[in-house]
Every structure is written in structure tokens, then in C-alpha cells.
Amino acid sequence: MESVQLAPSQSARETVRRLEKEAGTEVTLCYQCGKCAAGCPVAFAMDYTPRQVLRLLQLGLVDTALHADSVWLCVTCETCSTRCPRGVDIASLMDAVRREALAQGIVTDRKVAAFNEVFLSHVRRYGRLHEVGLTLEFNLKTRQPLKDAGLGLPMFSRGKVHLLPEVIRGQKQVQEIFERVKRMRGEEA
């Protein structure tokens, strides 16, 4: 007869603890009132609302949470964290789940992951975004190289975008922040 697992596995419990630590919050605080989901601007498009993501983590169903589209749809607006009567930092938890999914190679929405990667690489390199480079890199990564071709020239001729990136004065400090975060996560800087 097939066995049914009622309690979360040891590894699921450890992953939840790690996510809590990274997010600086505790999933057991949540009493499932649903205020977070009621205020979330993208809950209508999510497969699991923020309340349900919390419940998955409480039950140790980490794999389901890691595969949820919700974590990629979350725009980190922090409405949920602000509304939560129990002080659960749901936005931070969503971010931690997203990073864990990336680390495990689980990406349900490649476009969001590609945008995330290009966006952060620009902040790291220049300390700010370079719109032309970001659009080109994102479109190449997502295999739609000509997607914004019609917009580029008019914007360029009106001086709305620049061909070369500008680098901020404190760029070295920004890079140091990225390296510090890597070291904190036990990765090579």
C-alpha cells in the first residue's frame, strides 16, 4: 500500500527555517486571516495567493511553494507585509522563496528570471540602469531580438535614451554590496 506522509520531511523543515532566517520572519506567526491576499495587487493572477504560500510553508510543502508562479509574479510592493496583523514579512519571504528557487534551478517564468538577472547585472556594473542595454540584453535572452526595434530610433532621436551607459560615482561601493551579499550567502565573491 502507498504510504502517505503527514509530517514535513527533515529537509523541508530545514529549508523553511533557512527561508525564515533569510527573510527575517516566521511562518508560524501566520494565522491565515487572508489580509495579505486581499490587498495583494497581483493575487488575481497567482496560482497560490500570499496567504496560501504561507500555508504551504507552514505545512512544509516547500517544493510546491518553490514551483509556484506566485513568487515570480510578486512585485515586492510590500502591501502584504504592511497589512499583516501578525507582522509577518511576506514580501521578504516571497523574495527568499524566489532566490531559493533560482538557486535550485527552478524557474517557472523565464522572462521574469531573465529580467531579474539583467536588471541586477546593470545595477552591479553601472550603479544604475542603462535602458538601451537592458532592453537589448533582455530581448536577446528571451529570444525576441526585434521586439522593441520600432521604439528605439524615435526615442533615441528625441534624446530619451542614450547609446552608452552612465556610471554613477559610487559604483565601487555598489559592487562591494553585491560582493558582501555573495559572501554572506557562502558564494565566491
| Cell numbers representing residue 13 in the block | 523543515
Which residues have a Cβ under 8 Å from the Cβ of 104 and sit 6 or more positions away?
66
Widest Cα–Cα separation across the chain:
71
Q: Which is nearer to ligand SF4, 107 or 161 (CB)?
A: 107
Question: Which of 3-11, 33-41, 155-163, 176-184 is the region at the interface with ligand SF4 (rule: CB under 6 A)?
Answer: 33-41
Q: Minimum CB separation from ligand SF4 for residue 113, in Å?
A: 16
Q: Minimum CB separation from ligand SF4 for residue 134, in Å?
A: 22
Site of grid cell 496567504: 51
33 binds ligand SF4 (CB under 6 A): yes
Q: Which is nearer to ligand SF4, 77 or 103 (CB)?
A: 77
109 binds ligand SF4 (CB under 6 A): no
Residue of 22, 59, 69, 86 interacting with ligand SF4 (CB under 6 A): 86
80 binds ligand SF4 (CB under 6 A): yes
Q: Minimum CB separation from ligand SF4 for residue 44, in Å?
A: 10
Asked whether the beta carbons of 66 and 97 are under 8 A apart, the reply is yes
Cα 106 to Cα 80: distance, rounded to the nearest angstrom: 24
Cα distances (Å, whole numbers) of residue 163 to 33, 88, 133, 136, 155: 50, 43, 8, 11, 11
| Cell numbers representing residue 22 in the block | 533569510
Where does this chain bind ligand SF4 (CB under 6 A)? 30-36, 39-42, 50-51, 54, 74-80, 83-84, 86, 88, 90-91, 94
